[in-house]
Copies of this chain bind each other. A is one copy, B any other.
Amino acid sequence: MENVVKNTSVVFVGAGNLATHLARALHKAGFRIQQVYSRTEEAARVLAKCVDAGFTTDLEALSADAALYIVSLKDAAFTELLPEIVAGREHQGMWVHTAGSIPMSVWKNSGVERYGVFYPMQTFSKQREVDFSQIPLFVEANRPSDVQMLKEIAGCLTTKVMEADSEQRKSLHLAAVFACNFTNHMYALTEELLQKYNLPFDVMLPLIDETARKVHELHPKNAQTGPAVRYDENVMNAHLRMLEGEPCMQEIYKLISQSIHILDKKNNDEYHKL
């Protein structure tokens, strides 16, 4: 552990939510963050300051001697900037990206020799600290020795280090959209509804927490409660009438209730064909 910390100086390309949380976690674990690049000076400076690093807004000024380059940009920006990022740096260090949805093969014809993926599967918001030790971190690299190196680095941050190839990571990312992004939107719609009725969102927190806790013990399918799984048409129709001024929420209510009912009644193979 100590060796990998001592020997791995890190450059960050990108200073968004994920880069910020990852850079801070690595810094806290003792890694030297050499430099932070961002197109916007403010973002680069803010992150650089909090991890004792230098910063630049010029890709040509990227440090040449880091052991690890972590590219954490929006997917579109990454693909667009890749040639510029790696130009003339083919023999430098190890290059990884952090996006669940981008395959490792994106590096294949970039000229870079050692590359891989370092994907922490978590939702990051700048305003909120996260505990990295509980975050599953999926790694992949083109060389077995670099898989090992990424595992060691990841192991300094979390106990949940796993190898995943690009296909698996793509699937994990899609599943995470349902588990996190879509779940959070259900919370957002809850808040919209409560605001409309002048009720505080806080009142839902015990229910939200218990809903999350339940699936630690039960399969979500077996944890399902409510009017849709009981197929209580009286209640569902009353709810749809209450949502008459909200066509988008009404549509969501219909579609998800239908999906709950189908998943409950049919076996899984059948569900996938519907």
Shortest C-beta distance, A18 to chain B (Å), equals 9
Find A221's partner among B130, B162, B188, B225 (CB 8 Å cutoff): B188
Looking at A185, A214, A228, the one whose CB has the most chain B CB atoms below 10 A away is A185
Contacts of A238 in B (CB 8 A): 101, 170
Contacts of A122 on B, CB cut-off 8 Å?
Answer: 206-207, 210
- Nearest chain-B residue to A125 (Cβ)? B223
A175-231, CB < 8 A from B: 175-197, 199, 201, 203-212, 214-230
A232–B272 CA distance with the chains assembled, in angstroms: 26
Q: Does A28 make an interface contact (CB < 8 A)?
A: no
Q: Which residue from chain B places its CB closest to the CB of A260 in the assembled complex?
A: B185
Inter-chain CA distance A154–B121, complex, in Å, is 41
How many residues does chain A have at the interface if contact means C-beta atoms less than 8 Å apart? 104
A216, B208: Cα distance in complex, Å: 10
Residues of B within 8 A of A205 (CB): 215-216
Residues of chain B with a CB closer than 8 A to A211's CB: 123, 179-180, 183-184, 212
Spell out A's residues near B (CB within 8 Å): 17, 74-76, 79, 101, 121-125, 127-128, 130, 134-136, 160, 162, 167-168, 170-172, 174-197, 199, 201, 203-212, 214-230, 232, 234-235, 238-239, 242-243, 245-249, 251-253, 255-256, 258-260, 262-263, 268, 271-274
